[in-house]
């Protein structure tokens, strides 16, 4: 699932790394999802491609423009709430059990989180599925896979909410979402405030968030479809705030690599234009936030370039475009897959295979997929 695993997530909260872990695996996860599509409910979008694209363009129509004073107040209110949530993850030490439910599948993880000054660290133990231990120290992520005696080490940017978008002078998140206070509640024994983040168009999903009233720590998140129906839920079932978590102990555990084969993933920062890719038309609200190549060694004489990941965000939701050389033994049918809030779409642009993935409606993915162009 991702949240999508989470995720990568949608609001920037380090506790969501339990789901962000899967979303952040990049092209490898995209390939696995597509390769496993024969075992899932997959529909081909070919017949609907052009009609759906037209509907997507029509869906992009936003609400009537608000008066400047009202729009400015809405922007301040929304941005203030989002920055409070973002900062909340940096203020509290905690231990908790995190449960994600999406697409009829439930996953859970135990999380230890500690802050010391500007240092952030967490340990995530997956409680369902294959055994996994994930350690994150600032931007360094180490994943232990004991069943394979394998450790993967990489540097990874924050997923979900991109706070730099909120701080930028041209931040327009409030143009695409409005905030609605919905009362108070208790989650995992913690007093929380409930907020609704309501999209102003049908190109993105809505959210309900439960935040700890004292610090703003996010403790529960629901993702809602364009009709307000629940797609995905992530929440702490148990949560101990101000827990005695020791960073030095987690650092020691992170460094115990004896008996494991270590793979270091190298991401090469680039730009889409430098790699010959462009979008013929922007998708309303989404900005390019990063672009990386993932160098891989040629296997069996294969060639054609390194996989590319191009990431877009509207400040809350994100969309990734994965580009890899076409392999006709694996890439044989364009398809669309839905699991909870995560939508995945594949396309063939000779000689490349394109996977578009994000926590957005399928119509939004269509705008990205059909607008992508390679300039030779």
Residue 2 lies in a domain: no
Total of domains in the chain: 2
Task: Please report the pLDDT score of residue 160 as a whole number.
Answer: 40
**Domain match, 314 and 235 both:** no
**Domain match, 279 and 257 both:** no
**Domain match, 36 and 151 both:** no
* pLDDT tens, residue order, the chain (376 aa): 222 333 333 233 333 333 333 333 333 333 333 333 333 333 322 223 333 333 443 444 445 454 555 555 566 688 888 888 888 877 789 999 999 998 888 999 999 999 998 888 999 999 999 999 999 998 899 999 999 999 999 987 654 444 444 555 456 888 999 999 999 999 999 999 999 999 999 999 999 999 999 999 999 999 999 999 999 999 999 999 999 999 999 999 999 999 999 999 888 999 999 999 999 999 999 999 999 998 875 444 444 578 999 999 998 899 999 999 988 878 878 889 998 899 999 999 988 999 999 999 999 999 999 999 998 6
Residue 4 lies in a domain: no
**Domain match, 309 and 230 both:** no
Give the helix/strand (H/E) hosting 363: helix 362-371
Within 8 A by CB and 6+ apart from 283, the residues are: 203, 312, 319, 364, 367, 368, 371
**Domain match, 131 and 35 both:** no
Cβ proximity of 277 and 323 under 8 Å: yes
Structural domain that includes position 341: 30-62+264-374
Q: What is the pLDDT of residues 49-95, one digit of tens each?
A: 333 333 443 444 445 454 555 555 566 688 888 888 888 877 789 99
| DSSP class per residue in 146-192 | TTTTEEEEEE-PPPS--HHHHHSTT--GGGTEEEEEEEEEEETTEEE
Residue 9 lies in a domain: no
**Domain match, 127 and 40 both:** no
Residue 1 lies in a domain: no
**Domain match, 85 and 224 both:** yes
**Domain match, 118 and 237 both:** yes
Which of 201, 228, 263 corresponds to the end of one domain? Answer: 263
Rounded to 5 degrees, what are φ and ψ at 2? -145, -75
Residue 283 lies in a domain: yes
Which of 242, 263, 284 corresponds to the end of one domain? Answer: 263
Residue 238 lies in a domain: yes
**Domain match, 43 and 141 both:** no
- 368 vs 52: CA distance, rounded Å: 12
**Domain match, 321 and 311 both:** yes
- 56 vs 349: CA distance, rounded Å: 21
CA dihedral 322, 6, 106, 102 (to 10 degrees): -70
**Domain match, 68 and 58 both:** no
Rounded to 5 degrees, what are φ and ψ at 368? -70, -50
**pTM for this prediction:** 0.78
Residue 6 lies in a domain: no
DSSP-derived secondary structure letter, 4: T
Residue 308: closest CA among 366, 257, 355: 355
SS3 call for 17:
helix
CATH of the domain at 94: 2.50.20.10
Tokens of 266: 């190298």
Which of 215, 233, 263 corresponds to the end of one domain? Answer: 263
**Domain match, 49 and 79 both:** no
CA dihedral 146, 151, 156, 160 (to 10 degrees): -10
């Amino acid at each position: 699932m991702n949240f999508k695993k989470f995720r990568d997530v949608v609001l920037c909260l380090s506790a969501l790394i339990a789901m962000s872990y899967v979303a952040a695996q990049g092209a490898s996860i995209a390939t696995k999802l597509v390769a496993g599509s024969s075992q899932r409910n997959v529909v081909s979008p070919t017949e609907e491609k052009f009609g759906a694209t037209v509907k997507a363009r029509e869906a992009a129509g936003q609400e009537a423009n608000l008066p400047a004073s009202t729009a400015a107040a809405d922007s301040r209110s929304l941005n203030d709430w989002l920055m409070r949530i973002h900062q909340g993850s940096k203020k509290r030490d905690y231990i908790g059990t995190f449960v994600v439910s999406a697409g009829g599948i439930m996953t859970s993880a135990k999380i230890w989180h500690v802050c010391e000054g500007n240092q952030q660290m967490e340990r995530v133990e997956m409680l369902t599925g294959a055994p996994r231990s994930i350690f994150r120290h600032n931007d360094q992520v180490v994943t232990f896979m004991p069943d394979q005696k394998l450790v993967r080490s990489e540097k990874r940017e924050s997923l979900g909410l991109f706070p730099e978008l909120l701080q930028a002078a041209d931040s327009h998140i409030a143009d695409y979402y409005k905030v609605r206070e919905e009362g108070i509640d208790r989650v995992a024994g913690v007093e929380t405030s409930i907020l609704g983040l309501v999209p102003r168009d049908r190109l993105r999903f809505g959210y309900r968030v439960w935040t700890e009233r004292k610090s703003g720590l996010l403790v529960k998140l629901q993702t809602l479809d364009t009709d307000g129906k629940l797609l995905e839920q992530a929440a702490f079932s148990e949560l101990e705030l101000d827990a005695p978590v020791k960073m030095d102990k987690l650092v020691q555990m992170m460094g115990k690599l004896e008996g494991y084969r270590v793979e270091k993933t190298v991401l090469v920062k680039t730009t889409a234009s430098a790699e010959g890719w462009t979008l013929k038309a922007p998708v309303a609200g989404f900005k390019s936030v990063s672009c990386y190549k993932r160098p891989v060694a040629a296997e069996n004489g294969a060639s054609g370039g390194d996989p590319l990941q191009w990431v877009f965000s509207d400040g809350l939701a994100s969309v990734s475009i994965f580009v890899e050389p076409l392999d006709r033994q694996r890439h044989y049918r364009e398809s669309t897959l839905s699991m909870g809030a995560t939508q995945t779409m594949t396309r063939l642009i000779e000689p490349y295979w394109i996977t578009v993935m994000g926590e957005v409606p399928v119509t939004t993915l269509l705008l990205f997929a059909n607008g992508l162009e390679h300039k030779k």
